[in-house]
Chain A
Amino acid sequence: MKETLKNFIFAELIYHEDPVSFGDEDNLLDAGLDSMGIMRLIMFAEKEFGVTLPDTEIEPDNVGSLNSLESWIRRSGYAG
């Protein structure tokens, strides 16, 4: 899942970081992920993983790194 998220983020939302050296705990918000980026990321993740990510849970703690994104999506009922 992290690979899929990472591919989407670095193809569509953040361009200047080197995806190879970007770690799973590295801060996506510091790397330039902004509110519009988060909106597209959520749309992508909901479609790709068949989950609903509640608006009330959109938080820096849930979208701040690849690891936190993954655990948020898994908590939201991803069965894959």
Chain B
Amino acid sequence: MPRDYAGAWEPSVGHYFYLMLLTPFLYQCQQQPDALALQEQDRRVSYRQLLQQAQTIAAALQAKGIQPGQPVAIHLDRGIDAASALFGVLLSGACYVPLDLKNPVARLSFIIADARVRVVIGSRARAPAWLDDSLWLDIASCNEATPATVETPAESLAAILYTSGSTGQPRGVAISHRAISAFTSWASELLRLTPADRIASSAPFFFDLSTFDLYAVLGAGASLHFVPSGLPMAPARLSAWLNERAISGWYTVPSLLAFLTYKGNLAQTPLAGLRFLIFAGEVLPTPALIDLAASLPQTALYNFFGPTETNVCCYWPVARERLVAEQTIPIGLPAAGCELTIDAETGELWVRGPTLASGYWRDGRVQSFMSADGWYATGDRASLEQNEYRFHGRLGRMLKCSGYRVEPAEIETIVNAIPGVKACAVIGMDDPTAGQRPALALVFEQEASIGEIRKVLNRQLPAYMQPSRYLVMEDLPKLANGKLDLQQINNLFETQL
């Protein structure tokens, strides 16, 4: 089946026509160079300025010897500089690896080594002391220049996004220009984005949600407004900001929308210009969605669904009249030209289509995760009811903690390496704040303390991966076939509460 969206943007702009993911943006640069592209606090950047800054960075990367397809890490928080860096990387023909600066150094340096990153772009203010100097590129040190044009075929990699890996270490999902374009061009059409739109952006660039903000929004000639970093913790000021900025659309996570619904003073803050809200990454509890829909009667609401490997593969335009508090909402219909099917035996959701990532990034190469005929088995349990898909949780061990994927194996690998630990197992416990939290069952070989374990985990893993409960056991319970009895461990934690 033809899955190649190459050519979708073809009759386009000068010598950049082959830069597929940025082609719509480059077209807008020609059409309306002085229109507002990005705004962060009071700093405003036009399409022309953004392109110029991206070209400057691309030229600096090329001067550092970057070759097409090589990974470049972004050591910057979301914002104008980070967006310019991402675009610069793409113009140079390389692919970007956005870092989560909240990660401990151990995890960041693992990712930089695992991705075989050739350059790390950042700013002097937050230069990582632990990084090899030869990799560093200070964004402020780049001098204005025009990069050499490079050919970027549709299948070349645009981004490597790291998530938790079932192999016990962070794992990079390698995503092509074609895959991101397939999603963003679909989303742009679904939401009828125009240059008049003013879109809020709060997703970190290491989450795939950000591809909508960067490529659908700027490809449509609209402006992107970065939500100031303190605002997600100040819901009334957040709604006032959305109102004052006349934001017309926002793709964000359910926890933030629930906070806004209940604490955002929406009754006093009309948000009349807000055309749409999209949410993804977690399940939005239906009672919160009902209240949100009532507060924003004019706003179209969308539930997007899909793991990083597929970007968005399924979506549901929220039908307000069908919302029932006791019922979870559907994940809906296939999105962006994807095909979905459910494995009859296991109930697992399988996806194939143009938004699929190329594979996992391993040893400097792409390793496919697809079957011979192009299907990706998501590990999600789903059902099909009246032509709508519904999500029923995970088949495997993966947890979703505060919106982040957490593979128990990644925590177990670190714990098993601690002297004195004989065995361990991580399970997920339901949690009203985070959705799920890891819980750690341990068997000690010799005297060791939980305090010590906690110290090591704090040093190596981000906050959302830290176990919420510890249980020291004589031995881990096993099933008749010798495998760990995770259900039994789960029960022990439950009865411990």
Contact = CB atoms under 8 A, between A and B. Distances in A.
Interface of A: 12-13, 15-16, 18, 29, 31-32, 34-40, 42, 55-60, 63
A60 B230 contact: yes
B400 interface: no
Given A36-B432, A59-B237, A60-B230, 13 more contacts: A15-B468, A16-B457, A32-B464, A35-B232, A35-B235, A35-B258, A36-B402, A39-B259, A40-B432, A40-B433, A55-B236, A58-B236, A58-B263
Contacts of A15: 437, 466-469
Contacts of A13: 433
B70 interface: no
Contacts of B262: 39
Given A15-B437, A34-B402, A60-B234, A39 B258 contact: yes
A20 to B, nearest CB: 10
B109 interface: no
A34 B264 CA distance: 15
18 contacts: A13-B433, A16-B467, A16-B468, A32-B464, A32-B466, A34-B402, A35-B233, A35-B256, A35-B258, A36-B434, A38-B233, A39-B263, A55-B236, A55-B264, A55-B265, A56-B237, A56-B265, A60-B233
A12 B433 CA distance: 8
B454 interface: yes
B467 A38 contact: no
A34 B432 CA distance: 12
A80 to B, nearest CB: 24
B482 interface: no
Contacts of B454: 16, 18
Interface in B437-484: 437, 451, 454, 457-458, 463-464, 466-469
Contacts of B264: 55
Please name the 6 residue pairs, one residue from A and one from B, whose CB atoms are nearest each other, closest first: A16-B466, A32-B463, A15-B468, A35-B259, A56-B236, A36-B433
Contacts of A60: 230, 233-234
A13 B431 CA distance: 9
Q: How large is the interface on B (under 10, 10 to 19, 20 to 34, 35 or more residues)?
A: 20 to 34
Interface string B219-260: 000000000001011111100000000000000000110110
B470 to A, nearest CB: 9
B212 to A, nearest CB: 21
B263 A42 contact: yes
A55 B451 CA distance: 37
Contacts of B235: 35, 55, 58
A59 B234 contact: yes
Contacts of A58: 233-236, 263
B229 to A, nearest CB: 9
Nearest to B266: A55
Contacts of A38: 233, 259
Nearest to A59: B234
Contacts of A55: 235-236, 263-265
Contact of A36 (B258, B458, B466, B469): B258
A59 B233 contact: yes
B1 to A, nearest CB: 42
Nearest to B457: A16
Contacts of A37: 433
Nearest to B259: A35
Nearest to B263: A55
Contacts of B230: 59-60
A37 B262 CA distance: 13
A60 B237 CA distance: 11
